[in-house]
C-alpha cells in the first residue's frame, strides 16, 4: 500500500497509467478503423459480387422466344392445365391397331380368283342341312343324317373321307359322335386345318341354318374347289360334331394330335354362324399369333371386300382382333396353332362380346329365328353376301397363304447392336471441350449426349470475398461485373496508417 505523503511516486504512476490508457485507446481506435474499413469495403465487394452473380443467374434461366414473352414465375400455375391437355393429345395420337399388311404375303404376292359364283353352292348345302334335315342335335337321327350327307358329298368330290369316332358324357349320359376328315395332299407336307361343326340345337325350334349349316356349307364348297386344284399346303377339311355340348369333337381331334403333328400344322381356320349377324368378322385366337389373320384381311382387300372387320376390342376381356374360346378353334388355339375364325355377329352391341348378333333381333342362333326363311325375309341379301365373302376369302387364302417361316422368303437375322440404332445417318459426336461446360449437340440423327457433369461444390461462407465468388461465374460475364472498391480501400488504409504514425510521433514529442 502507498503512503499519503509520497506524491512523487503517485504522480509517476498516474502518468504511466494515462500513457497506457492512451495507447490502448489509440490501438482500439486503429483496430476499429481498420476493421470498419475492411468490413465496409469487403461488404460492398460481397454485395456487389452477389448482385452480379444474381444478375448472371437470371440471364441464364430466362428463355427468350422471338414470338412469346418470357414466362413469369407467377404464371407457371396457369400452364398446369396445358400439361394435362398435352397428355390427352398424346393419348389421342397413339396409333390405332390395324389388321392386314402381312410382310410375308406381300413379299410372296397373291394370285386372286374373283368368281361371282362364290357362296352359291354353300347356300345349297345350307338349304339341305337346315331345311331337309332340320335340327342336328347329338344322339338324334338329325345328326346321323347330316353325317351321311357330308360323307356322300366329300366322296362325290373325289375324297376318301375318314371318320374319327369319340365318346363323351352329357349329364351323366354317354354319347358317341363322329368327326369327318377329308385330306387334300399339297405341295408341302405342312397342314392347314379347315373346320366347322355340323351339329346344332333345337331350342325354340331352331334348325341351325346360321349355327352352323352355314359353316359346313362353305367348307363343302371349298373342299369341292380344291378336289381338282393343286394346293401349296396339305389341307384337312374336318366336319366336327358335338360342338354344342362342349366342343367335344374338336377337343377329341386336338387331343389325338402328336407333338410333331402340332408343329406341322401351319394354321387352323374355323367357321361358325356366318350368315345372321349384322357384320362380318375375322378373328385371331385369344393371345395367339396374328399373321394368318393379317393375311386373311389382305386377301379380303384384294377381293375388294371392304366390310370385313376385326373385333374392335370394345370389351377389355377380348383384345382387338381376337375372340373367345367358345367354338371349335379353342382346342387348337391352346396348342399354340395360329387361328383364323370367321363369324357373323355384332361386337358393338350388348356386352360387346359378340353374343348379340343383330341390333334389331338380338341373338339369332339357338332361337326359332335361326332358319333361312326368317333371315331372308328380315335381312334380304345378307345370307348371299356373307356366304360369298367367306367362300371367296377362304379359297384365296388357302391358295395364297404364305408361311412366315418359309425359307423362300429371305429374312436376314439381325444381331442386336451394342449401341441403340437411330433413324438417319449417325454422325460421331464432337469431343467435349476442356473448358466449355455445355452439352454436346449433334447433327440430324446424332447420338444424344448428356450434359457435362460438374462435381458439387461445398457451400461458401457468407464472408467469402467477391474475388472467390467471381470464380464461379463464366469468363464471358467477368467484364460485366461492377468495380469492387478494392483499390480505394487500400488507399484509405495507407492514409489512416500514416495519420496514426504522425499522431504517435506528435504525442511522443509532446511528452
Task: Tell me the C-alpha distance between 244 and 327, whole Å.
Answer: 9
User: Is the backbone peptide bond immediately before 6 cis, with ω within 30 degrees of 0?
Assistant: no
More confident residue, 262 or 433: 262
Q: Supply the mean pLDDT for the chain.
A: 76
Measure the CA–CA gap between 123 and 181, rounded to whole angstroms: 21
DSSP 8-state assignment for residue 358: B
pLDDT at position 443 over 90: no
- The string of DSSP codes covering 368-433 is TT-SHHHHHHHSTTHHHHHHHHHHHHHHHHHHH---TT-TTS-----PPPSS---SS--PPPPPPP
- pLDDT of the residue at 497: 61
* Most trustworthy range by pLDDT among 124-128, 437-441, 463-467: 124-128
CB neighbours of residue 192 within 10 Å? 27
Is a pLDDT exceeding 80 seen at residue 488? no
Q: Which residues contact 156 (CB under 8 A, 6 or more apart)?
A: none
Cα separation, 404 vs 101, whole angstroms:
13
Looking at the predicted structure, is the pLDDT value of residue 433 above 60?
no
Helix-, strand-, coil-residue percentages of the chain, each rounded to 5: 45, 15, 45
Query: In angstroms, rounded to a whole number, what is the distance separating the alpha carbons of residues 317 and 353?
Result: 8
pLDDT of residue 492: 56
Q: How far apart are CA 275 and CA 378, in angstroms?
A: 12
Beta bridge partners of 473: none
With 0.75 as the threshold, say if the pTM is over it: no
Q: What is the predicted pLDDT for the residue at 499?
A: 64
Predicted confidence at residue 507, as pLDDT, reads: 52
DSSP label of 255: H
> Higher pLDDT residue, 324 or 410?
324
- In the structure grid, which three cell numbers stand for residue 33, read together? 478503423
The string of pLDDT tens digits covering residues 342-359 is 999 999 999 999 999 999
- Distance CA(106)–CA(440), nearest Å, equals 43
Residue 369 reports pLDDT greater than 80 = yes
Q: What percent of the chain has pLDDT over 90?
A: 60
pLDDT tens-digit readout, 215-227: 999 999 999 999 9
Which positions ≥6 away from 250 have C-beta within 8 Å? Answer: 195, 197, 240, 243, 328, 329, 330, 331, 332
Q: Under a CB-based contact definition with an 8 Å cutoff, are residues 237 and 194 in contact?
A: yes
Joined together, the cell numbers standing for residue 25 give 485507446
What distances in angstroms separate CA 440 from CA 367, 418, 427, 455, one per listed residue? 72, 21, 12, 18
Please give the pLDDT value at position 438: 34
Distances in whole angstroms, Cα of residue 293 to Cα of each of 118, 287, 373, 509? 21, 13, 32, 117
**Does the pLDDT at position 397 exceed 80?**
yes
DSSP H helices in 62-128:
80-92, 103-108, 120-127
Higher-confidence residue of 81 and 455: namely 81
pLDDT at 368 over 80: yes
User: CA angle, corner 98, sides to 281 and 409, nearest 5?
Assistant: 100
Confidence at residue 65, expressed as pLDDT on a 0 to 100 scale = 40
pLDDT digits 0-9 by tens, 286-330: 999 999 999 999 999 999 999 999 999 999 999 999 999 999 999
Share of the chain above pLDDT 70, in %: 61
Q: How far apart are CA 494 and CA 485, in angstroms?
A: 15
| Length of the chain counted residue by residue | 511
Lowest-confidence region among 106-115, 394-403, 463-472: 463-472
Q: How confident is the model at residue 407 (pLDDT cuts 50, 70, 90)?
A: low
- Are β-strands 279-285 and 322-323 bridged in parallel, bridged antiparallel, or unpaired? parallel
Q: What is the pLDDT of residue 221?
A: 99
Q: Is 362 helix (H, G, I), strand (E, B) or coil?
A: strand
Nearest Cα residue to 393 out of 228, 272, 281, 265: 281
Q: Could you give the 3-state DSSP secondary structure of residue 154?
A: helix
Looking at per-residue pLDDT, the higher value among 423 and 247 belongs to 247
In this predicted structure, the answer to whether residue 457 has a pLDDT above a threshold of 50 is no
**Lowest-confidence pick of 42-51, 55-64, 145-154, 483-492:** 55-64
H or E element, residue 348 = none
For cell 377337343, name the residue. Answer: 251
Find cell 340345337 and name the residue: 201
| Better-predicted residue by pLDDT, 38 or 150 | 150
The H or E element spanning position 241 is none
| pLDDT in the model for residue 454 | 35
Fill in the DSSP letter of residue 79: G
Lowest mean pLDDT among 61-70, 144-153, 321-330, 341-350: 61-70
Mean predicted confidence (pLDDT) in 410-414: 38
Ordered alpha helix ranges (H), 451-510 = 466-470, 486-510
The answer to whether 278 and 204 are in contact (CB under 8 A) is no
Instruction: Please report the domains of the chain, with CATH numbers, ordered by start residue.
Output: 108-400 (3.40.630.10)
Q: Which three cell numbers stand for residue 31?
A: 483496430
Torsion sign over Cα 122, 113, 328, 179: positive
Residue 429: predicted pLDDT: 37
Q: Give 97's pLDDT tier (boundaries 50, 70, 90).
A: confident
More confident residue, 303 or 406: 303
Query: First and final CA of the chain: distance in angstroms?
Result: 28
Kindly tell me if the per-residue pLDDT of 173 is higher than 50: yes
The C-alpha atoms of residue 129 and residue 146 are separated, in whole angstroms, by 7
pLDDT band at 96 (very low <50, low <70, confident <90, very high): confident
Amino acid at each position: 500500500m502507498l503512503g499519503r505523503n509520497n506524491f512523487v511516486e503517485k504522480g509517476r504512476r498516474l502518468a504511466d497509467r494515462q500513457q497506457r490508457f492512451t495507447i490502448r485507446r489509440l490501438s482500439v481506435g486503429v483496430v476499429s478503423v481498420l476493421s470498419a474499413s475492411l468490413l465496409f469495403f469487403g461488404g460492398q465487394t460481397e454485395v456487389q459480387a452477389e448482385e452480379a452473380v444474381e444478375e448472371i443467374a437470371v440471364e441464364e434461366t430466362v428463355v427468350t422466344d422471338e414470338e412469346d414473352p418470357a414466362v413469369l414465375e407467377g404464371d407457371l400455375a396457369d400452364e398446369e392445365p396445358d400439361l394435362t391437355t398435352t397428355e390427352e393429345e398424346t393419348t389421342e395420337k397413339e396409333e390405332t391397331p390395324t389388321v392386314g399388311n402381312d410382310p410375308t404375303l406381300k413379299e410372296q404376292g397373291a394370285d386372286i380368283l374373283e368368281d361371282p359364283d362364290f357362296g352359291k353352292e354353300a347356300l345349297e348345302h345350307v338349304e339341305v342341312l337346315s331345311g331337309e334335315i332340320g335340327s342336328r342335335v347329338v344322339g338324334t337321327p338329325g345328326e346321323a343324317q347330316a353325317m351321311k350327307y357330308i360323307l356322300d358329298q366329300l366322296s362325290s368330290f373325289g375324297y376318301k373321307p375318314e371318320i374319327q369316332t369319340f365318346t363323351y358324357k352329357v349329364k351323366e349320359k354317354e354319347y358317341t359322335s363322329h368327326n369327318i376328315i377329308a385330306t387334300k395332299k399339297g405341295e408341302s407336307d405342312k397342314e392347314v386345318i379347315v373346320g366347322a361343326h355340323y351339329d346344332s340345337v333345337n331350342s325354340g325350334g331352331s334348325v341351325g341354318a346360321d349355327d352352323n349349316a352355314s359353316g359346313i356349307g362353305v367348307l363343302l364348297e371349298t373342299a369341292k374347289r380344291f378336289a381338282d386344284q393343286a394346293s401349296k399346303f396339305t389341307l384337312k377339311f374336318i366336319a366336327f360334331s358335338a360342338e354344342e355340348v362342349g366342343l367335344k369333337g374338336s377337343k377329341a381331334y386336338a387331343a389325338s394330335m402328336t407333338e410333331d403333328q402340332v408343329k406341322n400344322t401351319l394354321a387352323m381356320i374355323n367357321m361358325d354362324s356366318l350368315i345372321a349377324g349384322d357384320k362380318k368378322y375375322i378373328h385371331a385366337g385369344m393371345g395367339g399369333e396374328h399373321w394368318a389373320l393379317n393375311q386373311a384381311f389382305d386377301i379380303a382387300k384384294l377381293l375388294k371386300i371392304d366390310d370385313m372387320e376385326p373385333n374392335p376390342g370394345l370389351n377389355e376381356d377380348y383384345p382387338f382382333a381376337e375372340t373367345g374360346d367358345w367354338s371349335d378353334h379353342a382346342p387348337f388355339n391352346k396348342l399354340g396353332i395360329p387361328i383364323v375364325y370367321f363369324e357373323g355377329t355384332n361386337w358393338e352391341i350388348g356386352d360387346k362380346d359378340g353374343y348379340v348378333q343383330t341390333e334389331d333381333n338380338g341373338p339369332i342362333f339357338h332361337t326359332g329365328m335361326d332358319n333361312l326363311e326368317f333371315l331372308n325375309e328380315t335381312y334380304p341379301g345378307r345370307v348371299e353376301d356373307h356366304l360369298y365373302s367367306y367362300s371367296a376369302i377362304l379359297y384365296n387364302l388357302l391358295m395364297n397363304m404364305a408361311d412366315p417361316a418359309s425359307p423362300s422368303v429371305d429374312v436376314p437375322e439381325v444381331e442386336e447392336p451394342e449401341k441403340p440404332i437411330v433413324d438417319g445417318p449417325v454422325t460421331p459426336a464432337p469431343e467435349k471441350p476442356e473448358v466449355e461446360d455445355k452439352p454436346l449437340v449433334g447433327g440430324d440423327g446424332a447420338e444424344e449426349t448428356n450434359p457435362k457433369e460438374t462435381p458439387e461444390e461445398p457451400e461458401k461462407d457468407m464472408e467469402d470475398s467477391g474475388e472467390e465468388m467471381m470464380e464461379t461465374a463464366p469468363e464471358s460475364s467477368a467484364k460485366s461485373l461492377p468495380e469492387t472498391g478494392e483499390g480505394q480501400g487500400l488507399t484509405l488504409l495507407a492514409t489512416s496508417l500514416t495519420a496514426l504514425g504522425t499522431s504517435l510521433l506528435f504525442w511522443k514529442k509532446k511528452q
